[in-house]
Structure formats: C-alpha cells, structure tokens
Structure 1
Amino acid sequence: MSRNVLISGASIAGPALAYWLHRHGMTATVVERAPELRLGGQTVDLRGAGRTVIERMGLEQAARDRGTHEEGLRFVDDRGRVRASFGSDALDGDGFITELELLRGELADLLYRHTHDDTRYVFGDEITGLSDTGDGVDVTFRTGPDQRFDLVVLADGFRSRTRDLVFADLARVRSFGLYTAYFTIPRTESDGRWARWHNVPGRRVVLLRPDNQGTTRATLSFLHPRPGLDRLQAPAQQDFLRCHYADAGWEAPRVLEAMGDSPDFSFESVGQLRLEHWSRGRIAAVGDAAYCASPLSGMGTSLALVGAYVLAGELSRHSAHHDAFRCYETIMRPYVAQAQRVSWFAPRVAAPKTRAGIRLLTTVAGLAAHPRISRVTARFASPPAEAVDLPSYP
C-alpha cells in the first residue's frame, strides 16, 4: 500500500519503522534534529519479542557482531570485592545482563545502515508545525521547506518536543526522583568483561560497563529531591556530580576526573510517559515518544522495535489509517502496560540509603544468584519481554 510517511527521530524506533514501511511498499522520510546520527549512549539489550523483530529483519548476527560481549554483572564493595555475581546466563539468560548486549549507538547505526538506501534521511532539521487537513499532514520544518505527507509518526524519544505539538494534553509523566548521568571514559586494567555495580550510602550508584570500542561506559545514578537538575547546562551538572560523589570512594574519583573530557556526557531525569491515545488523525507516536517505560523497566528497546514492527504491519493491512492506528494500539497496549509496571520503590531498593541497607541488598542479591534458586528469581526479576503475540505480516 503506497503511503508517504514522515518519521521524526533517527534513534531506534524511527529507523526500525522506516525498514518495515519500506518492506510493506510505503515510502519513509526520517527527520532528525541532530546534525548527524547520534552514536553515543549506554548499553541496551535485545531480548524477547524485540530480539524476534531483529531476527525477522535478518539482523541478529550483525547485532551479535557488534555486541559488547559482557560476561555479566557483579556487585562490588568499596575495596572492589565481589559481593554478588550474575553471569549473562543467569536467571535463564534473561536477567540484568543478557547474552546479547550492544551499545545504543551501535544498534542505531546498524538500523541506519540497513535502511539508508531505501529511506530519505534529513539531519539537522526538525518539525516545528503540524497541520492535519484530513487528507494529509502539512509539515513545517525549522530550516527545510514546508512539505505534505500522508502520515506523520513521532519516534523522537521521551522528551519529544514534537509530541507536544499534538499530544500535550494527553501526556502524563511519572517521575521516580532518580537522576542518571551517562558518559564514556578511558579503559583501565581494572575494567574486565564484567559490568560492576557499586552502591554508595545516600542512594548513590556507580556503574562501570565494558564496551566493544576499547573504552568503558560509566553511569552515575542517584535519588535526589531537588527538581530540575536535568535542565542545568552540562558544566553545572558535572559540578553537581563532583560535589555529590566527592566521598564516594571505590573508582568514583577516576570516573569524576574523566567526566569533563568525555565526548558524550548525558544527564537525565528518569521518568515514565503515558499517553491517553497514541494517535490523532493522521499523526501517531511510537517507542519512547508514545510509551516510555523508563530504563528501570529493561524494556525500552523491545518496546521500540516491537512497536515499529506492529505499526508498519497494521498500516499494510488497513487501507484506512485510523483502523491501522486503532489495531496497533490494541495489540501493543497490554505489552506496554506490563512493561510500565515499575514500582516507585524499585530505585530505592537498588540504591539503599545506609551502609546497612547496602549490605542487605548485596546479601539478598548473592542469594538470588545462587543456582538453586535463580530460576525462581528469574520469574520476578526478568522483564516481560516475551509478553506479546507478534502478528505475522505478509
């Protein structure tokens, strides 16, 4: 079915949607406000239905070739001693670290390279106006000429400015009181093939993960009552982190020292997005722009890939776009609802306030990782990545 579709966002959901639209005979244009493909970001995993979508795209081996090859996750104390350990095969291979982990930028690049011959990509521009006329959508861009498309899909993330042009009155954002900074630092001899998680009193976490590029991905996560830290400029955010983690110990001094020279520093407030509806007229949303479950869910990549697959498939099945959008939402809503069942208490369990709480956490984690009970643990700790019946589309 011939349709001319504009997609806003060139991260995961956007290029994946472009692939499936082309596969079903539709024409996609992807607009991205960044001047080039954004290759930064931390590690994501391919699990459950999301991995099935990658398999159906014929990209599983290519994704494996770009993997970080992490061996698992270790909880370590101030002296670097291992207090609990989860291998990539722990929890039935669907736990904290799966056997197929890759950098967000690597996955974005893989999807881009797999689609750029059949999809028009426009970098360094963004949508500034959308007018649904009933028989098409008139689109205004920040720098490019006005154009008309049959449909527009917003796939530009949790903080999508474009979404607010259409869905501002339907969006509810849930905050967890959690901030996270991501950045790349030089690799040292202490960085092996295992991710290392270190808790600091005061609900602070330092996480170091290996990548496939000879560097280390650092994450500083913390709960804090002060609102608006994510709206500060990067230098002010880094000053705050240096102060907040000044007494953290372990490898925190090394992380803080390297932070200022990192090429991809990112700081965000962790939240969850719920939209009352995922479409209005000829405009729809997919991935984090529609139903961000937060990084705490472990489901962001799966939701993006599966949502893109289902949306394109339903557009191929239905001549009326409103029928396609309705079926897309019917199929995806239960899957999204399960992914979004993230307890407000979860980050507080993962980041205890006191040393006693940290000892309790690592003790419980050590028990949970024991082979005799890991299968039971998996039923509670693994995200519901398989909890959707993927349709088959021609």
Structure 2
Amino acid sequence: MDILISGAGMAGLATALDLSARGHRVTVVERASHFRVNGSPIDVRGDALGILEKMGLLDRVREQRVLTTELVQFVDDDGEPVGRPRSADIGDSPDDLEIAREDLANILVDALPPDVEILFRDSVRSLDDDGTGVDVAFASGHRQRFDIVVGADGQHSRVRGLVFGPEGDFARHLGYYVALADLPDEVRPHRMNPMYNAPGRLAGIARYKDRALAVLMFRSDPIDYDYHDLDEQRRIIVDAFAGTTGWKVPQLIEAVRVDPELYFDSSSQIHMRTWHRGRVVLVGDAAHCATSLSGRGTSLAFTGAYFLAEELDRADGDHVVAFERYETRQRPYAEFAQKSVDAGADLIIPPTWEAIAARNERLDGVAPAR
C-alpha cells in the first residue's frame, strides 16, 4: 500500500518504521526543515519495551539510557534542596528506560530504510477521501494519491482538524503550560536537577549528558495564541513569571528570550470517540495526547504504531477491519495514560505557598549531591 504519514515525531517515525518493515511504500511529510529532536528526556515503559525489542532497537535504546527524573530535587529560594519526589511518583518499574529525545529520534531515523521518502518544509493542505484512496494536496502545491493517510502530527494535528473537526472539540485543557529552553551555561559535572516552586509556577533545570534545559511550568486558564509564533509565546512565558525572582528564575527566563527552538505548549489531552474515519487514521498525540505528566506519550506512540502496522498486515490490507482492531488494542493503553496524570500537577505545581509546604513535607529525603 502507498501510505502517507503526516508528522516526523516519535509517532510518525515509529509508524514509518513498522509499516515499511511490512512492505508498505511510506512517505512522511514534516513541516519543519529537519527532524526536530529537541526537548526533555522521555520515558519508554511497559509493553512499549517489548515492541522496541521486536523492532530490534531495545539494546540501542538501553545503551543511551540517562537518569534525569530520578535526580530531581525541589529547592528553596537559596537553591537548598528540600526533598525529592517519591520513587512511586516517577516511574512504573525499574525496567523503565529514560532517554534523551534526540538520541531516540536519531535511533529511529538511522533505522529508516532508504526507500522511505521524507518531505521536509511541507504539510498537508487538504484531503479528499473518495472511498478507494485519498487525494492529498500539500502546502507546496504538490498533489499525490495514497491508499491510507496516517495523522501522526501531534496535539495540534492538521490531519485531525481536516477530517474530524476543530481541536476544541477534542482538547481538554488540564490547567497549565510547559516551556523548555536550551541552557548551555548550566551544564555541570554534577547531575542534580533542581526544581523551584512559587505558587502556581515551577522553574527548574534538567541536566542530561552534556546538555541542560530550562524547565518552566505555570498554571493558567486556556490562552488564545498562535503556537507557530515564538515571539508571542515568549511574551506569555515572561508575563507568567513576572515578579517571580527567587532562585535562578530570572536566568531561566532569559534563556526563554534567546532560544531559537523554544518549546511552549499547553498541557492538554485529546479525547476522541474514534481515531479513524474512512481511509484516515490517527496515532500518537494526534489521537490521544495524555500530556507529559503521564510519562507515557512515547510509549503510546510505539504501541499504537506497532498495533496499526500489525493489524493492517493481519487484515491483508482491509483498512476498515485493521483500524477497528488497532483501536481496540490501543485504547486501554491511552485511557490508562490519560487517567494517570490526575495528581501530577499538585506534585509539580502546587497552587499556593501552603500547598508547596504541604507537598514538601511529603517528599522523600534529600538525595546526596552528584
């Protein structure tokens, strides 16, 4: 089958690998000019580890394992540690793997066969599904027909919007926003990852390998903004932390001002009754974003991609049967991940000074400095 995948993130790359391994002709379209690999370390958990093994990638992922979340410590105004998250709050089991996003992306990219076509600097403009195939018009003006279109284009999926309707019909805002910015001056030999709280805000440093990231989170009602406009996003973050001068907050805000690949987004979930319509199907965050607090987004990308490819194989190309079976297998994983975030915000971003103090009393003892 000729299959188009919109999006070259974790879900898109995993889907491209699984489908091409089963003999499908795969094209991936990506809005960016390159594979976007920036971001904080990510987790691979549960059954996704077994899928990585079936893909022949588990050993390579293990070789690149990092420890970031395990080394988080909350600090006070002076940077003195006040405690660390309990082990039960940060993982499912000792088998969980944490890996730098760029390392995992590079592993997936390196594994792509040469016949997978990547269309950078382009995106889907329109889709016409006539029942026997999908005619795709790209923003570049290029047109092509595919047997199936897979939307793996994230929380703000263009494919989902074209086929299922506006994002507002499916998004459930959880009440906070997340920003990540490169912090080259904070790379240090020790590996403590300090996190500082003011009411409704968190500012921290995540170190891994030879990198450091500013991590900023704040509570807010939904904000109407252009998620392609970095200058507008910078203004939102700066305003959210106005008057917060404790610890290293001003330094972290300065990193937001200068990072050309700043990441900023709402923490929202996507809830849909179905992830497929006609010859179009969604995978990953486009179908069921659970937010970063779940720690399961990448694992969902791997399970969903594998289930979709396997069911297309088992159904001998019958997309109607395959999509139903894929969704039946994947939905329990997605629902579990979405429900797992309920207590996360209260741990990471307590709303008041009193809530911060109460949280600190529940923390584990301070870890030795590293």
The two structures share one fold, judged by TM-score above 0.5: yes
Q: Paired residue for 1:285, among 282, 286, 304?
A: 282
Deviations 1:312-339 (A, max 9, x none): 0000000211000010011111121111
Q: Which amino acid aligns with 1:238?
A: R
Question: Equivalent residue for 1:217?
Answer: 213
Question: Equivalent residue for 2:184?
Answer: 186
What is the TM-score with the length of structure 2 in the denominator?
A: 0.90
- 1:27 lines up with 2:13 in the alignment: no
Correspondences of 1:249-328 after superposition (within 5 Å):
249-319=246-316, 320-328=318-326
Question: Equivalent residue for 1:68?
Answer: 66
Secondary structure in structure 2 of the residue aligned to 1:275 = coil
Question: Equivalent residue for 1:378?
Answer: none
Change (3 A) 1:289 1:206: same
What is the TM-score with the length of structure 1 in the denominator?
A: 0.84
Higher deviation after alignment, 135-144 or 161-170: 161-170
Secondary structure in structure 2 of the residue aligned to 1:192 = coil
- 1:227 lines up with 2:192 in the alignment: no
CA distance in 2, matches of 1:243, 1:115: 42
Change (3 A) 1:153 1:244: closer
**1:241 Cα deviation from its structure 2 partner:** 2.9
- 1:168 lines up with 2:133 in the alignment: no
Identity of aligned residues (%): 36
Secondary structure in structure 1 of the residue aligned to 2:253 = helix
CA distance in 2, matches of 1:186, 1:352: 28
**Matched residue count:** 363
Structure 2 residues without counterparts, runs of 5 or longer: none
Q: Which amino acid aligns with 1:126?
A: S
Question: Equivalent residue for 1:131?
Answer: 128
Q: Which amino acid aligns with 2:6?
A: S
CA distance in 1, matches of 2:217, 2:20: 39
Question: Equivalent residue for 1:207?
Answer: 204
Deviations 1:121-173 (A, max 9, x none): 11111111111121111111111521111111110101012211101179411
**1:114 Cα deviation from its structure 2 partner:** 0.8
Q: Note the aligned Cα RMSD (angstroms).
A: 2.6
**1:102 Cα deviation from its structure 2 partner:** 2.0
Higher deviation after alignment, 320-329 or 58-67: 58-67
Deviations 1:53-90 (A, max 9, x none): 22221212322333434352212222222222359xx4
Structure 1 residues without counterparts, runs of 5 or longer: 371-394
Deviations 1:239-297 (A, max 9, x none): 34334324241121221223222232121111000122111111111000111111122
Question: Equivalent residue for 1:333?
Answer: 331
CA distance in 2, matches of 1:259, 1:351: 19
Secondary structure in structure 1 of the residue aligned to 2:247 = coil
Higher deviation after alignment, 248-257 or 164-173: 164-173
Give yes or no for contact 1:181–1:221 (8 Å, CA) kept in 2. yes
Secondary structure in structure 1 of the residue aligned to 2:177 = strand
